[in-house]
Amino acid sequence: MRSTWLLSPALAATALALPSQLTFSSPANGLGQLDLGSALKDAWNGIQRSQPIGWLEEGVREFSTRVQDSGISYELIQHADFPAHSLRMKQPKGLCDSSSKSYSGYLDIAEDAHLFYWFFESRSKHPEKDPLVLWINGGPGCSSTTGLLFELGPCAVANGGLNTTYNPHSWTESANVIFLDSPVQVGYSYGSKTVSNSQDTAEDIYSFLQLFYEKFPKFQNVDFHVSGESYAGTYLPNIASVIHNHNKKKPTPSSLTIPLKTVLIGNGLTDAYTQFASVPDWSCNKPKTPGANPYGPIFDESTCSSIRGKVPTCQRLTEFCYNNPSRFTCVPATLSCWQVAGPIQQSGLNPYDIRKKCDRDGEDGPLCYKQMQWIETYMNQPDVRKELGASPDRTFESCNMQVNQAFQFQGDVSHNTAALIPPLLEDGIRFLIYAGSADFMCNSKGNLQWTLAMQWSQDKKYNKAKLLPFKSNGKRAGSTQAVTLDGGAGLLRYLEIDDAGHMVPYDQPEASLDMFTRWIRNESFE
């Protein structure tokens, strides 16, 4: 059931980033704050008084209407189970990839909080038969548009940000993909609400998915996967845990079951205790020795000695945070552990790909990739902004360092996120942990080590599994280890991709698409 009415004026229209300096800073306020105006507020309140949530016929939970803002027309979707949330949606024309439909807009999670998304249907003839995937970039504070326009989306930013080119290795070759900017103040997302922890982020994303499925019921019967990289190693276990727990114990009797099947974490930061401790061996040992990177030592002996000496304090404080999680226990752990990784900033190397130099003050920019600056140029073009339905008051940034610091100074990164994974594995939610071999920030060896340290019912079988060559398109592309119970892709699989950095789909697009497709289809990696 849909009712049509017009409100006029209408609703007013974030790669793990290591802080360059550890200083306290408050998130910016006043970024595109919502101003409905007194007349609209009175009208809206009147509608709510005269038509409460019970207005909908029995069994009907969603309605849509059209709203206008700054010359932009949206479809507005609302849901009886989430009265504080609404979904604004439009179909951008002439942007990115004409071979599949796309939709963009905002999830309004509160009067002062609005999350931007851009959704692409798959390139197949029958997208309703293909899996649905949510992609979240890292940061915290970095936009998922980085994944879209730089790595795995259907187009790639080009020509200094003036336009885009077709990406033949997009993950939309195999799936429908949602790119979501979360939390508030990341990318095009705007509002004054402050979110500085992964748990709140996960709850907002659950609400987004409920509204998304109401708009696109054709995807309710296909597998759903959550994916991302970098700080998504912290986000995704929280998101998967919230989805799975709400599936088992629904927030309301009519809440939809989200068909979550797998989680894909690329070069993620998931277990700070184990991963920061892996930095000295990865950075300082000779190739082919335990824990070393394959390209050679990157620090001198004095630096190596210094960072090895910092690991015990990092681990002691992180363990205390794990056992007694709070801002007061976890912030000291965060600050201590970042000191282990700190020397990379003075090395002159790209921390996301140590095979390359980084000229932060020159062409490469502060994040070591000139394309990050191109993305900002492209996303701030007036015609692109209008077509996507972006808030006219919001300037797009690839990464918001104030959001990053807000998370850092809540100690969010030092929570034991890996502890959320075993209950999901036990209930059959599959995990793929993949990492590029040249990434310093969330190195591949540390990712392997935390999967080996995780305690669950199949840990002995996983630990005894051999690290085998991974072949893609007939060629060696890396190494992999898994516990496989059904002959498919595996319940828990670790995969190191050769000759790739932090952004695996950018460095190895063919192998990345092959890995992704086999995983979501639960096909063998042997």
Among the options 198, 502, 507, 512, which is catalytic? 502
- CB burial class (10 A; 0-12, 13-18, 19+) of residue 51? exposed
Say if residues 8 and 65 touch (Cβ distance below 8 Å): no
Among the options 181, 204, 353, 439, which is catalytic? 439
> Phi-psi category of 499—alpha, beta or left, where left has phi over 0 and alpha has psi -120 to 50?
left
Distance CA 37, CA 96 (A): 35
151: which DSSP letter?
I
- Residue partners of 11: CB distance under 8 A and separation at least 6: 34, 36, 67, 69, 74, 76, 86, 88, 108
> Phi-psi category of 126—alpha, beta or left, where left has phi over 0 and alpha has psi -120 to 50?
beta
How many Å is the Cα radius of gyration of the chain? 23
Distance CA 169, CA 437 (A): 20
Cβ neighbours, 10 Å, residue 285: 17
Among the options 64, 122, 227, 230, which is catalytic? 230
> For this structure, is 439 an active site residue?
yes
> For this structure, is 305 an active site residue?
no
Say if residues 72 and 10 touch (Cβ distance below 8 Å): no
Tokens of 380: 């701030």
Say if residues 396 and 419 touch (Cβ distance below 8 Å): no
* Proportion of the chain in helix, strand, coil states, percent, rounded to 5: 35, 20, 40
Please state, in angstroms and as integers, the Cα–Cα distance from residue 421 to each residue in 64, 182, 325, following that order.
Answer: 37, 21, 17
Cβ neighbours, 10 Å, residue 91: 12
Active site residues: 230, 439, 502
